[in-house]
Amino acid sequence: MALLEVIGLNKYFDGFHVLKDISFSVEKGEVVVILGPSGSGKSTLLRCINGLEEIQSGQIKLNGEVINEDSTKWHLIRQKIGMVFQSYDLFPHMTVYENILLGPLKAQKRDKKEVARQAEELLDRVGLLDRKNFYPRQLSGGQRQRVAIVRALCMNPEIMLFDEVTASLDPEMVREVLDVMLELAKEGMTMIIVTHEMEFAKAVADRIIFIDGGEITEVAEAQEFFTQPKTERAKNFLNIFNFKEYKKGVDNNEKI
């Protein structure tokens, strides 16, 4: 049985059909990367999966259980689904440590000692243990994003959602965040990742889901997707990231 299953998901926004009949599943331990042009609905899809956006039809199942039908239970479901946002969204009035402890203590009502130990372990793993008592504004973007990842991990989620987590980082900080995610993948964390970092996608993904205009147009093994994309749209999309052919003195007209 798949860990996460999305069946016939439709989402309308102001009369626009932004997600059209989306169906896919994610196995335990699998890393799925969602690719697609901006505005294609990738982020919206992630947000639907943990109930931040309402859907108009379809089902979302976690461990075989439908999770999107009783809106009063979302806070319980979300404890099993970790999410990291593009803009980090750490709580500015809390220290790194307090940021991490809030969910486990207040939402999960876990034992403080146990959570504290786990938080320190995780912080140590991302190399930020010495920043424990800092406030978010005292950290760099890359550090903040690593804290945000730890904050989500400390809830012991069954699956992690990453929504363009490096998109607002300065280039030199992208790597430190991606490394943390690669590490997680290696440990067998189930993840759905929306990203524009193609090389990273290639390295981390088991499977690629390509979305364009609100629908899934291609699903493929990562290797296959990058070497032999089946659809025209995916080919065009991949070409955008390819600069190799554009050299001085070479006629590129035939490409366009």
Binding site for other proteins (CB under 8 A): 50-52, 74-79, 81-83, 85, 87, 89-95, 102-103, 106-108, 134-138, 151-152, 155
Give min distance, CB of 184 to other proteins, in A.
17
Q: Tally Cβ neighbours within 10 Å of residue 183.
A: 12
Closest to other proteins by CB, 50 vs 118, is 50
Q: What secondary structure letter does DSSP report for 119?
A: H
Quick one: 43 or 217, whose CB is closer to other proteins? 43
Given a contact cutoff of 8 angstroms between Cβ atoms, the answer to whether 22 and 9 are in contact is yes
Assigned token pair, 251:
């006629």
User: Two tokens at 40?
Assistant: 């294609």
Distance CA 143, CA 131 (A): 9
Q: Which residues of 69-97 are buried (b: 16+ CB within 10 A; e: fewer)?
A: eeeeeeeebbbbbbbbbbebebeeeebbb
Half-sphere exposure of 234 (CA within 13 A, CB side): 22
The CB density around residue 243, as the number of other CB atoms within 10 Å, is: 8
Closest approach of other proteins to the CB of residue 11, in Å: 16
Q: State the nearest-atom distance from the C-beta of 73 to other proteins, in Å.
A: 11
**Smaller CB separation from other proteins, 95 or 118:** 95
In the complex with other proteins, which residue's Cβ is closer, 102 or 129?
Answer: 102
Of 111 and 224, nearer to other proteins (C-beta) is 111
Q: Which uninterrupted H or E stretch holds 202?
A: helix 198-204
Task: Provide the minimum distance between the beta carbon of 80 and other proteins in the complex, in angstroms, as a whole number.
Answer: 8
Could you tell me the smallest distance in angstroms from the CB atom of residue 253 to other proteins?
44
Which residue type, as a one-letter code, is found at position 41?
G
The token duo for 189 is: 């964390």
Least distance in Å: CB of 107 to other proteins?
4
The distance of Cα 132 from the centroid of its chain, to the nearest Å, equals 24
Q: Which is nearer to other proteins, 83 or 193 (CB)?
A: 83
